[in-house]
Amino acid sequence: MTDTSPAAVFAAVYVALYIGHSLGDHWVQSSCQAASKGQPGWSGRLACARHILSLTTTKGAVLAPVVLMLDLPLTLVGLVAGLFLDAASHYWADRRTTLARLAGRCGKAEFYSLGTADHPAAPTTAAGKPAAHLGTGAYALDQSWHILWLGIAALIIAAI
């Protein structure tokens, strides 16, 4: 007997969306999309839209076998609403200036710049050049934003 309680459906959907997010945001996204999606104007908007399309397709491709194999009771309305909200929130953050402004308003501007030459404590090599680092504050805030919205999307998908 399959447990199709709302909590179990939420958990299964969330895990599938998280896996799809990780694949879509890191393996499927092209270098061109990653480099261009934050640029101003239509070229940046279109690069970001292409990334969101491939990302959402990846999430759907990962979610589909989970739904089918576990016989999850989802509705088309819940699925479309959840994936749309997730896609919209991802697009918003990946335009970059929006997330940077939010970080500034929340008192996280210094953390946002962590790992870049703009950070007041940016590490440098003995030659005074920027040193290698494991990541940036902007990336950490970006990913935590996406994970928040994955949870909201999974809740909508499971509950509607």
| Tokens describing residue 25 | 């945001």
- 56 vs 39: CA distance, rounded Å: 21
Same domain, yes or no: 4 and 83: yes
Instruction: Please indicate, yes or no, whether residues 90 and 53 belong to a single structural domain of this protein.
Output: yes
Q: Which pLDDT tens digit goes with each residue over 33-86?
A: 999 999 999 999 999 999 999 999 999 999 999 999 999 999 999 999 999 999
Range of the domain at 22: 1-95
Query: Residue 136: pLDDT above 90?
Result: no
Residues facing residue 124 across a β-bridge: 130
Angstrom distances, CA of residue 85 to CA of 36, 52, 91: 22, 12, 10
Our count of domains for the chain comes to 2
Residue 156 lies in a domain: no
Residue 159 lies in a domain: no
Contact 96, 39 (CB under 8 A): no
Q: For 77-123, how does the pLDDT look when each residue is reduced to its tens digit (9 = 90+)?
A: 999 999 999 999 999 999 999 999 999 999 998 888 887 666 666 66
Question: Same domain, yes or no, for 130 and 91?
Answer: no
Q: Is the residue at 138 inside a domain? A: yes
Average pLDDT of span 124-141: 76
Does 42 share its domain with 17? Answer: yes
